[in-house]
Structure 1
Amino acid sequence: MCQENQVIKHLKDEVDIIDKNLQKLENQRYSINKEYINLLQEECKKNIGRCFKRMKNGVISYCKIIDIDEPILTISNYCFNEHQYPALWFNDSYKSSLHCPFYKENLFSGAWGKGNDIIGNLNGITYEEISNTEYMEKFKEINDKWIKALDK
């Protein structure tokens, strides 16, 4: 075998070794990331049930965190947004209407100061954490109005 072919074979062998090492590191990263996301999810589950009142331009909305965000599979691994929470919302200003007053929308942890709420701050939105009792009383009031509207 000529020297040039030996160099090519040597370089190919080195590339193969590096590829094997990269695959081991990718597998290790995947495993560690999975454990990391599981721990983050457990921590985030502690926020399920928290209730908030959002004020903007005199309009009051209420929300209750009902779940945690789902991990998303990307091209290389899973990612998880620990600042985004599905929540059940309704507005205080509901008038008798056949439109459902309740809707699902994300609440971001910036509402309680963890993370960022730059857009909310720019738009003059403020949040106040409230008790489950206060949320449920308001929920019942709005739900009763909706039932009356449907019953006509």
Structure 2
Amino acid sequence: MNICEQCGYHLKMSSSDRIKVSIDPGTWGPMDEDMISLDPIEFQSGEELYKDRIDFYQTTIRLTRAIQTGTGQLNSIPITIRCVLPEEHACTKELFYVSILTSLTTGGVTASFGKRVIEQTLNKTISEGSQAAEYLFHKGLFNLIVPRNPLKGILSELV
């Protein structure tokens, strides 16, 4: 699971490896495999063409795009892994929706949406406590920091 046995540090993990440890064996069915990463604006990052970076990563990791989507089972519960549409669809159908953030930088990005930043961006005053854990919990948000080992079990309990 890419966890240091000495200190418990969680090392980077590929999306394919994450799927292997999260989804029941033999149930993963990829979706949207015909979608591929392109470079329509011929973006250049430093000395390197973006297209060259796309080609390198597509060859190295054998995926045509940066994200995997599909269906599978989580402890025999049917699930879908998608990056677009599910939140809107889940809200209209009143379905359970889980977002799993796996990058160390995500917490910093989330924290940057403080009261002052929101007020300056929206030109509105937001109420005190609107970002408190209790308020967000009552609105349906909960935040768990879960090590990889028990994640599959905890997710299946939530679902």
TM-score of the pair, normalised by structure 2: 0.21
Higher helix share: 1
Higher strand share: 1
* Length-normalised TM-score, structure 1: 0.22
